[in-house]
Amino acid sequence: MPVGRRMELAGLPDVRDKWIKLVDTACHAEALGYDSVWVYDHLHNVPRPAGEAVFESTSALAALSQVTSRVRLGQMVGNNLLRSPALVAKAIATLDVMSAGRVEWGIGTGWERTELEAYGYDFPSARERVERLREAIAVARVLWTRTESTFDGTYYRLAGAQCDPKPLQRPHPPVWIGGKGEQLTLRVVAEHADYSNFGGSPPEWAHTSDVLAAHCEAVGREFADITRTWSHDAFVRATDSDVRAGDRRGLWGESFERWRDENLVGTPAEVIDKIGCYSDLGCRGFVIWCADYPSWETLERFALDVMPAFRSG
């Protein structure tokens, strides 16, 4: 959803107009048949802070839960360094009740050092961030499944904490872990995730999957029990010339051709072929960023011209 993270709302004149665009986009996505809507969990714009609106993810999801009725709701993905995991568990449980059981819990280590330090947060080593993530998931699970919770970890502690109401979903909302750090993050995925979300070209995505499979074997987890998904840009136009005329590119200065090759960018037929390639590799879900926001052209073309190729019935 367009929360302002990628400067997509900068052209709208008033902050209220920006918020309305976010709400209207979520409602339109639901009407178009999308399965879920997702929000970034960031505090600043990219590629650099620009004094432009970025709506906070948890409060945004709470609002969207009240104007939608079917789509599932998630952060892609929550930054574990921004909030106490006990408070996150409480908020997610509340949101699950508010939404009638439609929450997907997305969580990651946190990676954008500049915005964290700007807000006064420490930025630990990669190893510590992964260990904090592992403990945070354990904290949330005990709060969601026990009447009263005590937890004595290295980084987080509970002493008789109660989390009520409990989530409506049992035993708890699905756990999505975002990231593809091969040595540390994917180990936590193998241990704890219901869904694993990472990007990359098909060869890169396949390599990450192979690494995850090896971690699953090492920890005694069935690889098939983890649903693997892909997330990055989408940009769909009727013709190749229209695709090239759009030339949205990514955020980090890559060439148009590289951006097109590594994302769901192209005509409907090309995007269908790309999704088919990922699907053949075992990908079972796509969380797309529409690179032409605040326009709805990609949102609509993807729903009307691409999704039917993968819907049954």
How is the chain split into domains, by residue range?
Answer: 15-310
Specify the pLDDT at position 215: 98
Specify the pLDDT at position 313: 55
Contacts of 63 (CB under 8 A, 6+ apart): 23
The neighbouring-strand residues paired with 287 are: 231
Specify the pLDDT at position 250: 62
H or E element: which one contains 142?
Answer: helix 126-145
Specify the pLDDT at position 55: 98
Taken in order 120, 124, 126, 130, the sign of the CA dihedral is negative
Specify the pLDDT at position 252: 67
Specify the pLDDT at position 253: 74
Specify the pLDDT at position 17: 98
Specify the pLDDT at position 207: 97
Alpha-carbon gap, residue 163 to 79, rounded angstroms: 21
Taken in order 281, 307, 247, 296, the sign of the CA dihedral is negative
Alpha-carbon gap, residue 225 to 216, rounded angstroms: 10
Catalytic residue among 52, 56, 112, 270: 112
Q: Are strands 157-161 and 149-152 parallel, antiparallel or unpaired?
A: antiparallel
Token reading at 227: 């649903």
This prediction has a pTM of 0.95
Alpha-carbon gap, residue 177 to 195, rounded angstroms: 6
Establish how many alpha carbons lie within 13 A of residue 292's alpha carbon, considering only the half-sphere containing its beta carbon.
Answer: 21
Cβ neighbours, 10 Å, residue 254:
14
Catalytic residue among 30, 42, 135, 232: 42
Contacts of 39 (CB under 8 A, 6+ apart): 1, 3, 55, 57, 60, 61, 64, 74, 75, 76
SS3 content of the chain, % helix, strand, coil (to 5): 45, 15, 40
Residue 122: burial class (beta carbons within 10 Å; 0-12, 13-18, 19+): exposed
CATH 3.20.20.30 is held by the domain 15-310: yes
Specify the pLDDT at position 225: 97
Q: With a cut of 50, list the residues of the chain below it in pLDDT.
A: none
Annotated active-site residue 42? The verdict is yes
Specify the pLDDT at position 251: 62
Annotated active-site residue 191? The verdict is no
